[in-house]
């Protein structure tokens, strides 16, 4: 059914993409758009490559996330050209010829050497806008896109077509399967590495296929926002698990975070329950016309209520926000755009012409400042952490006298809480892709 749905949705996706590219090319006075998939990068003084990831703009045109050396050339009014590298190679697996619901929409030319692309690219590079990583041997075809074109395409990329949302739902389903297996591994007493292996196996994706490096923190490791160490030995007692891990479908990502507590961790589980309610309240506000900056500040106000209700900070919620006490427990942004990249582009753009709007001064790590519109997909990921460095700084401030330090000390070993869903803004109620994916597995 997914393949049939993709086949029906893809032509409209391609038409929308062509329309945006037409407008962007007209804006900068160029005749063609050339998008290089890119090439694997070798390690220093070695012949081994880092895992290859095709340029996001290449993946937006067609479902070929692993097509090194290939190009797309688009000229308004003409069928897009796919220059597909299928090398003669007995060292590696040679990609199959393109096939599937999308091939009829492209003029496909197969080349055997990467340098052969030059003969198929437009004759005058100065009339092209060129995206992606191009090899020196391609000559004048090196990335030099006008900023106005990048701004136009980045701004529009925030609006996902039906085809793209199908891909993201599939990525969410794969990610949810991985999370279910990860929770079971945690309950069984596995190490961080063992939990990661359980996630990958259930999601059906290798390390290099995942859209980002998984964060899997047991106990106090949950307080490290980008913890990627993977202890091989389980702790003596697993009090908590924070897992931030996603999957991908043809280059489109999911980004999911869950926090779990051991059965005897009553106080911490109560905090998780409160954060779950807080997070779902925020997800329900992903609606057209919602200023995301205001939603981020609302997350801080709601978090202040949780800190007060659980006896962690004896201040009014508004005073906690005004005096930045909540930032000691929630130092990152509420979320970001998601799609072809986990932290997708265009989060600060005010308009297609490149106007920007910055994050609030007291919240510099917020990655999205736009007003939400139908078609956008964003993450909602509030957190509550016990980070030693930030707590030590809070201890030195006048507000420290309002903090229940004994309660904080008792919770430090649990690390922290983050709950994250991918939510699509629609013309009506939000679509929570993550919750729908978990529900489909029930």
Q: pTM higher than 0.85, yes or no?
A: yes
* CATH class of the domain comprising 162-441: alpha beta
Structure token digits, residue 22: 């037409």
Whole-angstrom Cα distance, residue 21 to residue 29? 12
Neighbour order of strands in the sheet with 431-432 = 377-380, 421-424, 431-432
Whole-angstrom Cα distance, residue 99 to residue 76? 24
Residues linked to residue 110 through DSSP beta bridges, in sequence order: 84
Structure token digits, residue 188: 């069984």
Residues linked to residue 240 through DSSP beta bridges, in sequence order: 261
- Please report, in angstroms and rounded to a whole number, the separation of the first and last CA atoms in the chain: 20
Identify the pLDDT of residue 133. Answer: 81
Whole-angstrom Cα distance, residue 195 to residue 192? 5
Identify the DSSP state of 356.
Answer: B
Q: How many other CB atoms are there within 10 angstroms of residue 364's CB atom?
A: 10
Over residues 227-251, the pLDDT tens digits come to 999 999 999 999 999 999 999 999 9
Q: How many other CB atoms are there within 10 angstroms of residue 304's CB atom?
A: 23
| 441, burial (CB in 10 Å: exposed 0-12, middle 13-18, buried 19+) | exposed
In sequence order, what are the residues at sequence separation of 6 or more whose Cβ sits closer than 8 angstroms to the Cβ of residue 45? none
Whole-angstrom Cα distance, residue 39 to residue 50? 10
Positive or negative torsion for Cα 129, 134, 139, 142: positive
Positive or negative torsion for Cα 307, 313, 319, 325: negative
Domain map of the chain by residue range? 2-157, 162-441
Q: Are the C-beta atoms of residues 70 and 98 closer than 8 Å to each other?
A: no
Identify the DSSP state of 403.
Answer: B
Identify the pLDDT of residue 162. Answer: 98
Identify the pLDDT of residue 136. Answer: 63
Whole-angstrom Cα distance, residue 219 to residue 261? 9
When pLDDT is cut at 50, 70 and 90, the band that residue 95 belongs to is confident
Helix boundaries (H) for 214-366: 266-283, 292-309, 317-322
Least confident span in 121-130, 210-219, 403-412: 121-130
Identify the DSSP state of 255.
Answer: -
Phi-psi region of 276 (alpha: psi -120 to 50; beta: other; left: phi over 0): alpha
Determine the CATH number of domain 2-157: 3.40.350.10
Whole-angstrom Cα distance, residue 416 to residue 373? 32
Task: Work out whether strand 128-131 and strand 248-249 pair parallel, antiparallel, or are unpaired.
Answer: unpaired
Percent of the chain with pLDDT strictly greater than 90: 92
Cα–Cα separations (whole angstroms), residue 327 to 95, 107, 385:
49, 53, 10
Identify the pLDDT of residue 352. Answer: 96
Over residues 362-418, the pLDDT tens digits come to 999 999 999 999 999 999 999 999 999 999 999 999 999 999 999 999 999 999 999
When pLDDT is cut at 50, 70 and 90, the band that residue 134 belongs to is confident
Mean pLDDT of 268-279: 98
What radius of gyration, in Å, describes the C-alpha atoms of the chain? 24
Give the 3-state secondary structure of residue 263. coil
Whole-angstrom Cα distance, residue 210 to residue 426? 27
Over residues 21-51, the pLDDT tens digits come to 999 999 999 999 999 999 989 999 998 999 9
In sequence order, what are the residues at sequence separation of 6 or more whose Cβ sits closer than 8 angstroms to the Cβ of residue 411? 267, 268, 271, 386
When pLDDT is cut at 50, 70 and 90, the band that residue 137 belongs to is low
């Amino acid at each position: 059914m997914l393949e049939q749905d993709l086949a029906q949705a893809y032509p409209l996706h391609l038409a929308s993409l062509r329309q945006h590219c037409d407008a962007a090319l007209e804006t900068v006075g160029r005749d063609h758009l050339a998008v290089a998939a890119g090439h694997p990068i070798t390690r220093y003084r070695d012949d081994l490559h880092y895992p290859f990831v095709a340029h996001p703009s290449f993946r937006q045109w067609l479902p070929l996330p692993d097509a090194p050396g290939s190009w797309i050339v688009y000229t308004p009014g003409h069928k897009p050209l796919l220059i597909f590298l299928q090398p003669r190679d007995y060292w590696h697996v040679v990609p199959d010829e393109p096939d599937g619901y999308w091939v009829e929409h492209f003029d496909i030319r197969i080349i055997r050497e990467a340098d052969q692309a030059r003969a198929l690219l437009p004759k005058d590079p100065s009339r092209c806008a060129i995206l992606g990583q191009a090899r020196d041997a391609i000559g004048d075809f090196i990335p030099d896109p006008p900023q106005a074109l990048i701004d136009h395409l980045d701004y529009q990329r925030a609006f996902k077509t039906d085809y793209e949302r199908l891909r993201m739902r599939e990525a969410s389903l794969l990610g949810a399967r991985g999370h279910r297996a990860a929770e079971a591994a945690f309950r069984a007493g596995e190490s961080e590495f063992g939990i990661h292996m359980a996630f990958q196996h259930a999601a059906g994706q290798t390390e290099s296929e995942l859209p980002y490096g998984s964060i899997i923190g047991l106990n106090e490791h949950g307080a490290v926002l980008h913890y990627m160490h993977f202890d091989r030995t389980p702790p003596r007692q697993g009090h908590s698990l924070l897992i931030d891990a996603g999957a991908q479908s043809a280059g489109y990502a999911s980004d999911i975070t869950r926090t779990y507590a051991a059965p005897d961790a009553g106080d911490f589980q109560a905090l998780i329950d409160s954060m779950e309610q807080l997070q779902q309240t925020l997800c329900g506000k992903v609606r057209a016309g919602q200023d995301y900056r205001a939603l981020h500040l609302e997350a801080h106000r709601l978090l202040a209520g949780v800190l007060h209700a659980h006896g962690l900070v004896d201040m009014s919620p508004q005073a906690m926000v005004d005096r930045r006490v909540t930032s000691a427990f929630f130092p990152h942004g509420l979320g970001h755009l998601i799609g072809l990249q986990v932290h997708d582009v265009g989060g600060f753009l005010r308009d297609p012409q490149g106007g920007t709007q910055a994050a609030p001064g007291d919240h510099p790590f917020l990655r999205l400042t736009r007003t939400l519109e139908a078609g956008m997909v964003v993450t909602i990921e509030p957190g509550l952490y016990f980070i030693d460095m930030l707590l030590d700084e809070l201890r030195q401030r006048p507000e420290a006298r309002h903090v229940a330090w004994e309660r904080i000390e008792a919770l430090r070993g649990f690390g922290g809480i983050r709950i994250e869903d991918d939510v699509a803004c629609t013309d009506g109620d939000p679509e929570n892709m993550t919750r729908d994916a978990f529900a489909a597995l029930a």
